Homo-oligomer: A and B are copies of this chain.
Amino acid sequence: MDIPKDHPRYDSLVTRERLAELVKKGLVTPTGLISHGRGEAFDYLMGERTTDSALRAERAATAYLLEAKRPVICVNGNAAALDAERLISLAEATGSKMEVNIFHRTEERMAALIDYMEERGAKGILGRNADSRILGLSSYRALCTGEGIYSSDVILVPIEDGDRAEALVRMGKTVLAIDLNPLSRTSRTATVSIADEMSRALANMITFANELKNSAAERKNILKGFSNADNRKAAVGLICDHLRAAEGGR
């Protein structure tokens, strides 16, 4: 692609081109690109950085993963495309299983995504032989594995669909969502809502996992002190502050 080097949003355009490339390979769907754009807008509104509120959510989410009996990290097309490596590192750092679970499900796309993750070092990744269903959902997007999502107690869903997030909560699971829109149904429904760009969020969570893995008391303290409602409210407030500052800036 011939993105002019003098374009002020060069980096962002390069990431976009990478996602567009993975559409051609069938890993990302065209509508996944639109979802990415929605996320970009919220990231922009929060100043394209990890806010204090997001950092608190990332700490709490990491504590939940480490406290879990059967933690699972969900992987969809956008998540794999944005940062497969850190998804794998976080799974290793927290002892979580990984399962590929996609909205636009075909067996070809599932296989391509699992291959993509395995080429980057993922071991024992689940999803191919779906033998269970997420309760209360119609169509193929309900399919999951009994060993992974179905029997998980704590589940990290980066860039999830609101419907599915709600269904997972109804199944009694602790749902940890990475979703840049703090007002989305996913964010409203989740046990912990991380309003941060996925790759930044994962990097922080990997650091926290290493800090917290030998300290059960500290993990319990974090979970006791964390209010998702308050934290989401802070995220919304931050967007407003940033908007007003940006507006006042000229």
Chain A residues with CB under 8 Å of chain B are: 1-2, 4, 6-9, 13, 16-17, 19-20, 23, 29-31, 33-42, 44, 104, 138-141, 162-163, 181-183, 185, 188, 232-233, 236, 239-240, 243-244, 246-247, 250
**16 further interface pairs, Cβ-Cβ under 8 Å (given A13-B31, A41-B181):** A2-B139, A2-B140, A8-B163, A16-B34, A20-B34, A23-B23, A30-B33, A33-B37, A37-B39, A37-B40, A38-B44, A40-B41, A41-B41, A41-B42, A183-B243, A239-B243
Known: A246-B183, A247-B233. A4 touches B34 (CB 8 A): no
**Cα–Cα, bound, A22→B158 (Å):** 28
Report the minimal beta-carbon distance from A70 to chain B, rounded to whole angstroms.
Answer: 28
Chain B proximity of A247: nearest CB distance (Å) = 4
A153 to chain B, nearest CB (A): 25
> Which 5 pairs of residues, A with B, have the shortest CB-CB distance?
A37-B37, A20-B30, A41-B41, A34-B37, A33-B33
Q: How far is the CB of A236 from chain B (nearest CB, A)?
A: 4
- Collect the chain B residues with CB atoms within 8 Å of residue A38's CB: 37-38, 40-41, 44
A68 to chain B, nearest CB (A): 27
A68–B243 Cα distance when bound, in Å, is 34
A4 near B139: Cβ-Cβ < 8 Å:
yes
The distance in angstroms between the C-alpha atoms of A36 and B38, with both chains bound, is 8
CA A136 to CA B157, docked complex, whole Å? 45
A182 contact set on B, CB distance < 8 A? 247
- A24 — nearest CB in chain B belongs to which residue? B30
Q: Which of B19, B20, B240 contacts A244 (CB 8 A)?
A: B240
A31-B16 contact in complex given A38-B38, A38-B40, A236-B244, C-beta closer than 8 Å: yes
For A138, give the chain B residue with the smallest CB separation: B4
27 contacts between A and B (CB under 8 A): A2-B140, A4-B138, A6-B138, A7-B163, A8-B185, A13-B31, A16-B34, A20-B29, A30-B33, A33-B34, A33-B37, A34-B34, A34-B37, A34-B40, A35-B37, A37-B39, A37-B40, A37-B41, A38-B40, A38-B41, A38-B44, A40-B41, A183-B243, A183-B247, A188-B250, A236-B244, A239-B240
